[in-house]
Amino acid sequence: MKKFIILFFLGLSLNTWAQQLERVEPMSWWVGMKNPKLQLLVHGNNIATLEVQLSYPGVKLVQVHKVENPNYLFIDLEIANDAIAGKFPILFTKGGKKQAQYIYELKNRTQSISRVQGVSNKDLIYLLMPDRFSNGDPKNDVIKGMKETQLNRDSMYYRHGGDIQGVINKLDYLKDLGVTAIWMTPEIENDMPLASYHGYAATDHYKIDPRYGTLELYKTYVDKAHEKGLKVIKDIVHNHMGTGHWFFNDMPMKDWVNQWPAYTQTSYRDEPVMDPHASKADQKKMLDGWFVPSMSDFNQRNPYVQNYLTQNHIWWVEYAGIDGLRLDTYPYNDPDYMRDWAVKIKAEFPTLSIFGETLVNSVAAQAAFTGGNTVSRGFDTELPGITDAVLKNAIYEALNGKSGWTDGIFRLYSTLAQDFLYQNADRNVIFMDNHDMSRFYSMINEDIYKYKSGMALLLTLRGIPQIYYGTEILMKNYSNPDGLVRSDFPGGWAKAKSDKFTAAGRSSAENEAWNFIRTLANYRKNSPALQSGKMMQYVPENGIYTYFRYLPQGGKTVMIIINTEDQAKSLETSRFEERMGQANSAINVLTNEKINSLKTISVPAKTTLVLELN
């Protein structure tokens, strides 16, 4: 009986501590970071009534901040360069008596050369939505206690059951296709009542959504991808969080998010961010307005918010060994904070690749967001690259439009001619579609000739190419009104009618498309000219656009010829002597046919030729 009483009171004491100390974030850290400063967010019922103590060699308790909400403390630590990895208690006391403690761990940074490799123009990125790609573990399809408990594959707005294990199961498929890097839409917890599958309304920044897997499984995914020579890009969101976030209804302070007298949505206009004539009101609406009612807008001028987000992103890269970060809704973020963020991230991970989503309407606007451009706002954004939506639009115009002085194929030529506005256009991610827009195959009216030309352009132009899952099997549909661009990959679920991860499950047209991409993508993996070579383009003539990818120091030169018109053309090549040099024959990369004479090249209608010059 005595033993039972002791255990009862011990359990009561531990439970009291657990109620008072609910979270410490980041929950662990590393020694050897470039920035010695670390700010811990501590959350618990009335935690601000307690004092904080710690004692560990090389770790200094600098300051404890009490804020508006007594359920929070922010603890500033400084970690010396000579601090060693280990565990130590952080004590929370009252009147000199211990009320709670947290065992904090400092770890050694991982030195493996396969970690944080970076993503470059040598890579081919494959974008997928894990909920819609493959269901590798049906046991986690529905998790009790979460706000969304329906699994409904007949609706685009409910979860379908895809997960991280499903992606792991398909790594060999992606490698065979010629993919070298995988970008998944956000995997962290989105405990929202509706449309939680897309991942952009985070409810816990340090937790993988349990319907996708666990922290440990995510790290396993990164490790297995690296083992197969595949890099990993993590999609992160600075601008907003879901209104179901654990701290949304118990915020540390009122200005943790941007507050308005009445709900105010962003204008979605990027111009006021860089416009020298813009009003402050327009700038504020763009930057501080909420994206949608279910996504509250972080106040990135708040230093506690800044520390929380920046440390979270550092934590993920160091924890998992991620190779690149894609930054969602980049123009909607506070510019000064994003510059500071980039500087701090690059200091810790010099080889990490970073690119921001900038769905804007001009080359100049895109360039204004990239590093090296100090004209628009008077400072360098430090952002290496962007998603090149303007080039995407130009390719569509080249494929679908009629040639004019600035239309048709000339739009593509003119867009690339403005690359001088970028510090390095090779760091831009080029693409034809993604999860927010109509699929490429539908946008070209399901024309297989335009499809091949578009894919050939994507895989031979400057920049880092990205394809959206299913493009390789001619998946189609428009973004409105039904969101079918986020349909399931056929074969990713048990008892599927067809398995398009296999050649036997694909139609002849689908295999034709799949093999086209596979051939060119795998050629690209072994072509220094296409991976990192320079580009020289010629003014389009007679409906034909020609450009070259080459290495200045020598090596193979690749000649790309695009005929977007409805009739075959003959191309006289004498005007290309500057780049062709003494080449007198070529190999058609896509057919492996030899072309014995290059004086005149026959180009079929609506066709792009990719020729390796000899």
What pLDDT score does 378 carry?
Answer: 81
**Which CATH architecture is the domain 12-107 placed in?**
Sandwich (2.60)
Question: At residue 332, what are phi and psi to the nearest 5 degrees?
Answer: -85, -5
Averaged pLDDT, 284-302:
97
Residue 357 is among the residues annotated as catalytic for this protein: yes
Catalytic residue among 131, 288, 357, 488: 357
The pair of structure tokens assigned to 114 is 């396969």
The token pair at 286 is: 């763009």
pLDDT at residue number 480? 86
- Burial (CB count within 10 angstroms: exposed 0-12, middle 13-18, buried 19+), residue 175: middle
> SS3 letters for 181-238?
EEEECCCEECCCCCCHHHCCCCCEEEEECCCCCCHHHHHHHHHHHHHCCCEEEEEECC
CB neighbour class for 313 (10 Å; exposed up to 12, middle 13-18, buried from 19) = buried
Eight-state DSSP code of residue 423: S
Per-domain residue ranges of the chain: 12-107, 125-253+296-526, 536-613
Residue carrying the six token digits 């991942």 = 199
Q: Tell me the per-residue pLDDT of 393-426, one tens digit each, with 9 for 90 and over.
A: 999 999 999 988 889 999 999 999 999 999 999 9
Residue 328 annotated as catalytic: yes
Range 129-158 average pLDDT: 95
pLDDT (tens digit per residue) in 35-58: 999 999 999 999 999 999 999 999
The catalytic residue among 25, 297, 328, 612 is 328
Residue 379: per-residue pLDDT: 86
Share of the chain above pLDDT 90, in %: 91
Element (H, E) at 569: strand 569-572
> How much of the chain exceeds pLDDT 70, in percent?
97
pLDDT of residue 19: 53
| Angstrom distances, CA of residue 442 to CA of 433, 447, 451 | 10, 9, 10
pLDDT in tens, 332-343: 999 999 999 999
Q: Over range 236-240, report the average pLDDT.
A: 98
User: What pLDDT is attached to residue 483?
Assistant: 87
Confidence of residue 374 (pLDDT cuts 50, 70, 90): confident
Q: Where are the alpha helices (DSSP H) in 401-507?
A: 409-417, 440-443, 448-460
Residue 9: per-residue pLDDT: 39
- pLDDT for 473: 98
What 3-state class would DSSP assign to 328? coil
For the chain, the straight-line distance linking the first and the last C-alpha, in angstroms and rounded, comes to 91
Cβ atoms < 10 Å from Cβ of 570: 10
Degrees, nearest 5: CA angle 411-416-418: 100
- Tell me the mean pLDDT in the region 481-491: 93
pLDDT at 141 over 80: yes
pLDDT of residue 6: 41
**Residues whose CB is less than 8 angstroms from the CB of residue 179 and which lie 6 or more positions away in sequence, other chains included:** 124, 125, 126, 230, 521
pLDDT at 15 over 60: no
Question: Which residue's structure tokens are 């003539």?
Answer: 541
pLDDT for position 2: 44
pLDDT surpassing 60 at residue 11: no
Class of domain 125-253+296-526: alpha beta
488-504: average pLDDT: 96
**Cα–Cα distance measured from residue 298 to residue 376, given in angstroms and rounded to the nearest whole number:** 24
- Does this chain's domain 12-107 share its CATH topology with 125-253+296-526? no
The class that CATH gives domain 536-613 is mainly beta
Look at residue 441 and give its three-state secondary structure.
Answer: helix
